[in-house]
Amino acid sequence: MVNVLNDKYTVNIEKQDSGKILGESVRLSAVTKAYNGLKALDNVDIDIEPGSFTVLLGPSGSGKTTLLKSIAGITKPDSGTISIGQRVVFDSKTWVPPEKRELSMVFQDFALWPHMTAVNNVAFALKRRKFPKETENKLSSEMMEKVGLLDHVNNYPDQLSGGEQQRVALARALVARVGVVLFDEPMSNLDTDRREVLRFEISTLIHEYGATAVYITHDQSEAFSLADKIAVLDKGKIQQYDTPENIYRWPNSAMIARFTGVSGELLIKGIYLDESTKTFKVDLDEKLNCKPINVSVDKDLPDGRLKLFIRPTALKIVQPTSLSTMTGIIVDVSYCGKGYEHAIKLGEGSLLTKIFSENKFNRNESVGIMVDSNGCLVLKDE
């Protein structure tokens, strides 16, 4: 083991020798932050497990950045409590500054020092830890290798592509072996092909190191592919904090269903429990010319006006026969690589979009639609 000056960092080096960091838990309780009377965070509670990957997903202005910056210590909330591991870093009597919170951050604009080489940018994260120079060099080179940039150690940031710069930023965030890594839309300045590769690298390295990750995106597919758990934010509140599977299958609200992708939403005329199958049967407006649709509901039906939300994955286009659940007319078709996405008009102007089929159906063609109850959601119309 390497000798260092301070007990805390001795522990970190031991962790590094075993290749694994101990991720810290992150807890927020009743955290509120208002700007000019408007709540950017409204009484937020969240309990993030050590070593887990949490994605903050939500529309622009929903409070994602304010939440991340509050954890980082860049923004000071008005009230509430924030803990990292066993340590309270913010409450009415406590304020731990960012540099003492033992976390690191990856920004969308990479935020590298332009006058330092790639490897020195990484090593800089170790400076205040006062490692011996050879340890600093060893750890920085190892991290450069991990992110596949050994050939670029002596390049300056302006001699690196956007994807390479972001990998340097990732190396810098991980090299100090802190328990929490925060990501502020790290892919938003990268081309699509580079995003795919970097997404894979971030996921692999974070899991390999065992750090707790909190990651902002407004890109649904990025959220679903990276997250152990997704926190959906809207209007400064966490609307749901759950696994990607549960968010997709059992969204709490119309907002979450819409934000995570629906083909369409249809007003429900009547809904009743089918005792034989223990599922609900939904009747839609007769003008839609649709058979009753079976749906499962995970809790009591919400009060008020109900809508049926249908996930794109639940719809299959078929030839119109008496077996199909609905019929409609193809109004749009677009090629999407491995097949076609269709838009279908039902009676009364209702529209279903994003319906995938390997086969192409043509505009104005009459088609049948089969509906899989697993992708049907009964939610309050909001």
What residue ranges bind ligand ADP (CB under 6 A)? 35, 38, 40, 58, 60-66
Question: DSSP letter at 31?
Answer: E
CA distance 57 to 216: 6
Nearer to ligand ADP, 16 or 66 (CB): 66
Nearer to ligand ADP, 62 or 263 (CB): 62
Q: Can you say whether the dihedral through the CA atoms of 134, 138, 141, 143 is positive or negative? A: negative
Q: Minimal distance in Å, beta carbon 33 to ligand ADP?
A: 8
Q: Minimal distance in Å, beta carbon 68 to ligand ADP?
A: 8
Nearer to ligand ADP, 18 or 60 (CB): 60
CA distance 148 to 157: 15
Half-sphere exposure of 2 (CA within 13 A, CB side): 23
CA distances from 270 to 88, 280, 305, 346, 378 (A): 51, 10, 10, 19, 11
Nearer to ligand ADP, 90 or 309 (CB): 90
Q: Minimal distance in Å, beta carbon 46 to ligand ADP?
A: 15
Would you call 58 exposed, middle or buried from its count of C-beta atoms within 10 A (0-12, 13-18, 19+)? Answer: buried
Nearer to ligand ADP, 63 or 77 (CB): 63
**Which residues sit opposite 104 in a β-bridge?**
181
Nearer to ligand ADP, 258 or 291 (CB): 258
Nearer to ligand ADP, 105 or 266 (CB): 105
Nearer to ligand ADP, 111 or 297 (CB): 111
Q: Minimal distance in Å, beta carbon 240 to ligand ADP?
A: 15
- Of the candidates 231, 194, 197, 237, the residue with the CA atom closest to the CA atom of residue 216: 231
Question: Which residue pairs, CB below 8 angstroms and at least 24 apart, start in 271-277?
Answer: 271/301, 271/306, 271/378
Q: Can you say whether the dihedral through the CA atoms of 238, 244, 245, 248 is positive or negative? A: positive
Q: Can you say whether the dihedral through the CA atoms of 56, 37, 252, 377 is positive or negative? A: negative
Q: Minimal distance in Å, beta carbon 183 to ligand ADP?
A: 13
Q: Minimal distance in Å, beta carbon 31 to ligand ADP?
A: 12
Nearer to ligand ADP, 65 or 373 (CB): 65
CA distance 160 to 356: 39
- Is 82 within 8 Å of 161 (Cβ atoms)? no
Q: Minimal distance in Å, beta carbon 45 to ligand ADP?
A: 17
Q: Minimal distance in Å, beta carbon 40 to ligand ADP?
A: 3
- Of the candidates 176, 178, 217, 208, the residue with the CA atom closest to the CA atom of residue 85: 178
CA distance 197 to 294: 40
Nearer to ligand ADP, 112 or 231 (CB): 231
Q: Minimal distance in Å, beta carbon 279 to ligand ADP?
A: 37
Q: Minimal distance in Å, beta carbon 34 to ligand ADP?
A: 9
CA distance 116 to 156: 6
**Which residues sit opposite 275 in a β-bridge?**
none
CA distance 182 to 211: 10
- Of the candidates 335, 305, 322, 332, the residue with the CA atom closest to the CA atom of residue 368: 322
